[in-house]
Structure 1
C-alpha cells in the first residue's frame, strides 16, 4: 500500500465500533483544548483563504481568458439557454484551492499544537489522483474526450485510490454492527465508488448553481463528520473547499458568468468520494458512505430515472437531453433562482438526513429510507410520471412500441451530425434530412401539401415540436404511434437540426421549421416540448 510517512495511527477503535463510539473518541481528542481542531481562528483563516483564492482565480480567468476553447455557447434554448457565451473553466479555481488545501494541510498537521489531530489521508496520492481526475475533465472541456477515455481514467484513479489506502475494505451491517471483510471485492467496490460519484456530479451540472450547491452541502456534511471523528486533515481540506465553492457560486448563480465544467465537476466528485472513505476508520466507513449516498439522493434519483427512460426508449443511456428533474421542475413556471433555492432546500434536508444516518444508523436509517421513498414517489408523480400499475404498463408499452423507431432515428441523426461537419452546401444537408424523415414516414406540414394529399390528411397527425426559444418544427406523423411516441422519435434530430440552423441560418420552407410567434418566459424553460411525464 502506497502511504506517506505523514499518516499517523488511526483512531483506536475496533472494526465493530460504531459512529457514536468514534464520535466519543473524536471528542476525547478535541477535549485537550490546545488541539488544532479547536482553533476556530485557524479554520476561519482557511475558509477565508479558500474564498480569496477561488475569487481571485475566477476574476483573473474571466479577465484574461482569450482562447476560443473552453467557451460554452447557447444551443438556442434547448439545453443551454445563456444569452452570451460562458466560460466553462471555473474548475481551475476549484483545483487551485484543492492544491493549496493539500499543501496547507501537510504543514498544519505538523505544526505545534496539532497533537492529537488524526490524519488518515495519504496526502501526496490524494492530490495526484485528484489532479488526474481534474485534468482529464479539463481537457474534455477544451478539446473533447471520448467516453471510453474518461471511463478509463476514472477506473485508473479508483485503482490508484485502492492502492493508496482509500478503499472499501469492510462493510458493516448498520443495525447489528456486524462487520464483513470485502476481501477480493474491495477493489471492485472502490473503483465503482470512484466512477459513480464523479459522474453523478457531472450529470448534475446542467443548471446554474446546481452542481456547485450540491458540492457545498456535501463538503459541509463531510466536515461535520470529520470534526466528530477528530480527523483533522479532512476537516482542513473540507473547510477550504467550502470557501472555494462559496466563491464559485458567487459567479455561478443564475445568470452564471462561469461554469465549473467537467474538470470542476469531476474534481468535486473525486473529493467527495475520497473524503468519505478516509473520514472515519474502517469500522465506520459504511455509515459515512450511507450518509453521502443519502445526501446525494437528488442526483441519484435523477440519474436512475434518466437511465431507465433512455434505456427503455432505445436511446444510449449516457446521451444528454433536457429531461432531467431540474429541467422538468422548471416547467412549473418557477424562475431559475426560486427553483435553485427549492433544490438547495432539498439538498440541505438530505444532508441533515445523511448526518442522522451517520450518527445513529440503527434508528435513523429505516426512517430516512421511508421518507426518501415517499418523497421520491410524490415528486415523480407531481412531474407527471406514471403512478399506478395501469399507467406504468401503458407507458412502458408505448415506449417499447416506439423503441425500434427511436433507435433508427438516433442512428440516422448520428450520420447527419457527421454530414453537418462535412457538407459545405446546406441544400445537400437539408435534402439528406428530408430523406431521413421520409424513411421514418414523417411527412410535410398541411399547408405544403398538394390539394389531393390534403384531403386525406388528418389534423391529429400534426406534431408541433418546439426546437428552441424562436423556432418550432411542424410535422405530420400519420402512423399508429401516439404523439408522445413521435416526440421521442423527433427528439433524436433536435441537436443536429438546431446546429444546422445555427451554422447556415436559412432553412428551406418545406421542412416545416418556422419562427415561433409566442416566445417562452425568458426566465423559465417552459418551451420544452412535452417534458411532463416519462417521455
Structure 2
C-alpha cells in the first residue's frame, strides 16, 4: 500500500507542473506575435556604444510574458483554491500596476523617460501595492530583533518596489541576462516558499520561472527580441510582489534578508553602480558601460554568452546560499548576508569596479 501511495503524484506538485506548462506554452505562443507586432510598428532597440548588440532588434518582448503571466495566474487561481484566496483580492491592483508599467515602458522604449519620470511611475506602482494591503511592516535587526515600521512601512515598501524595478532594469544589458537571472532567482524563491508551506508564493514563483524560461528561447544570444523597459520594470515589480507576499506569509522579517541574498547579483550591482558613480562624481542615473556584465566582457575578455552563463552560475550560488541560510534562523540569515557582501566585494575588487 505504501509503495502504491508513493506512485500517486502529489496534487500540489501536479498543479504546479500544470501551471508551469501553461505559463511556458503561452509565452512560446505569444512571443512571436509580439515580435511581429514590434516589427510592424517600429518598436526597435537603437544601437549605441553602450550596448553589446549593434543592430535593431524588437524591444517590447516584455508584453508577451506580462500577458502570459496574468493568463496563467488566472488559471492557477481556478486550479488551486488557496491561490485564488490569496491573490484574487489583490489581482485588480496588480493588473492596474502592470498596465501603468506597461505604458511607461512602451513610452520609454519609444521616446525615453528621465529618472524622475521613471521613479514617479515606480512610486505610483508601489503605492498601488500598499493600497492592495501588501506592505513590509517590520525589518530585522541583528541585536534588537524585529523593528516595527509603523507608518514608515508605506515609504519603505514603495522604495523596495522601486529598488527591485531598477535592479532588474540595470542588469538587463546582455542577451538573456535579466530573464535568466529572474528565472533562477524566482526558482529559489519558490523553493523558499514551498519549504515554508507558502502555497501562493510557490505558485507565483513557478509562473515567473515558466514565462521567463520560455522567453529565454527568443531572448538568449543571439536575441531575436528584447524585453525592453516594459519587461524589466515588470519583472522587478512582480518579484517585489512575490517577496513581500512571502514576508507577510512567514511573519518573519528576517526572511526578507534571505530573499535579498537570493537576488544578490542584481541588487548589489545596483548598489555598487550608485556608489561607483557617486565616488567618481558622475551623474547617478546616467547610463554607462560599467555594470558587472560589462566588466566581465571588457576586463575579463569574456564574450557575451560566456559572461551571461557566468552570471547565471553566480546567481545560482547566491540562490543556494539564500535557501541554506533561511533554514538556520535569524543568526544564519545575517551571516549569509555578510558572506554575500564579502563575495560581492571580492568580485568588485577583481573587476576593478571602482576604478574609472
TM-score, normalisation: structure 1: 0.60
CA contact (8 A) 1:138 1:263 kept: yes
Q: 1:358 to 1:139 in 2, by over 3 A?
A: farther
- Residue equivalent to 2:355: 534
CA positional deviation for 1:363: 4.3
Residues 284-303 of structure 1: pairs in structure 2 closer than 5 A = 284-303=251-270
Residues 230-249 of structure 1: pairs in structure 2 closer than 5 A = 230-249=197-216
Residues 145-174 of structure 1 show CA distances to partners (whole Å, capped at 9, x for unaligned) of 332222112111112211211101123446
- Residue equivalent to 1:149: 117
CA contact (8 A) 2:172 2:178 kept: yes
- Residue equivalent to 1:362: 330
Q: 1:124 to 1:359 in 2, by over 3 A?
A: farther
Given the alignment of the two structures, is residue 194 of structure 1 paired with residue 194 of structure 2, yes or no? no
Query: What is the aligned counterpart of 2:242 among 259, 275, 294?
Result: 275
Given the alignment of the two structures, is residue 348 of structure 1 paired with residue 316 of structure 2, yes or no? yes
- Residue equivalent to 2:292: 325
CA contact (8 A) 2:50 2:288 kept: yes
CA positional deviation for 1:92: 0.9
Query: What is the aligned counterpart of 1:62 among 25, 35, 44?
Result: 35
- Residue equivalent to 2:184: 217
- Residue equivalent to 1:229: 196
- Rounded to whole Å, the distance in 1 between the matches of 2:252 and 2:229 is 28
Residues 160-218 of structure 1 show CA distances to partners (whole Å, capped at 9, x for unaligned) of 21121110112344677x43321111111111111111111001111111111111012
CA positional deviation for 1:360: 2.3
Given the alignment of the two structures, is residue 86 of structure 1 paired with residue 54 of structure 2, yes or no? no
RMSD: 2.5
Considering Cα pairs closer than 8 Å and 6+ residues apart, tell me whether 1 or 2 has the greater RCO.
2
CA contact (8 A) 1:118 1:231 kept: no
Query: What is the aligned counterpart of 1:105 among 52, 59, 76?
Result: 76
CA contact (8 A) 1:125 1:164 kept: yes
SS in 2 for 1:72: coil
CA positional deviation for 1:329: 1.0
- Residue equivalent to 1:381: 349
CA contact (8 A) 1:169 1:282 kept: no
Number of equivalenced pairs: 346
CA positional deviation for 1:79: 1.6
- Rounded to whole Å, the distance in 1 between the matches of 2:248 and 2:267 is 26
Residues 312-336 of structure 1 show CA distances to partners (whole Å, capped at 9, x for unaligned) of 3332100001111111111222222
Q: 1:83 to 1:194 in 2, by over 3 A?
A: closer
- Rounded to whole Å, the distance in 1 between the matches of 2:102 and 2:328 is 34
Structure 2 portions without partners, runs of 5+:
1-5
CA contact (8 A) 1:101 1:236 kept: no
- Rounded to whole Å, the distance in 1 between the matches of 2:150 and 2:338 is 31
CA positional deviation for 1:64: 4.2
- Rounded to whole Å, the distance in 2 between the matches of 1:143 and 1:37 is 50
Residues 208-262 of structure 1 show CA distances to partners (whole Å, capped at 9, x for unaligned) of 1111111101211222222233333332232122111111111111111111110
Q: 1:361 to 1:138 in 2, by over 3 A?
A: farther
- Residue equivalent to 1:337: 305
- Residue equivalent to 2:94: 126
SS in 1 for 2:253: helix
SS in 1 for 2:60: coil
- Rounded to whole Å, the distance in 2 between the matches of 1:47 and 1:261 is 24
| Higher helix content, 1 or 2 | 2
CA positional deviation for 1:280: 4.3
Q: 1:305 to 1:174 in 2, by over 3 A?
A: closer
Q: 1:172 to 1:334 in 2, by over 3 A?
A: closer
- Rounded to whole Å, the distance in 1 between the matches of 2:199 and 2:281 is 48
- Residue equivalent to 2:137: 169
Which of 189-198 and 100-109 deviates more?
Answer: 100-109
SS in 2 for 1:364: helix
Residues 14-93 of structure 1: pairs in structure 2 closer than 5 A = 38-75=11-48, 78-93=49-64
Query: What is the aligned counterpart of 2:105 among 128, 132, 137?
Result: 137
- Rounded to whole Å, the distance in 2 between the matches of 1:45 and 1:300 is 31
Given the alignment of the two structures, is residue 159 of structure 1 paired with residue 135 of structure 2, yes or no? no
CA contact (8 A) 1:69 1:143 kept: no
Q: 1:185 to 1:97 in 2, by over 3 A?
A: same
Residues 244-296 of structure 1 show CA distances to partners (whole Å, capped at 9, x for unaligned) of 11111111111111111101111110111011111243663523321221122
- Residue equivalent to 1:405: none
Residues 487-529 of structure 1 show CA distances to partners (whole Å, capped at 9, x for unaligned) of xxxxxxxxxxxxxxxxxxxxxxxxxxxxxxxxxxxxxxxxxxx
- Rounded to whole Å, the distance in 1 between the matches of 2:61 and 2:317 is 27
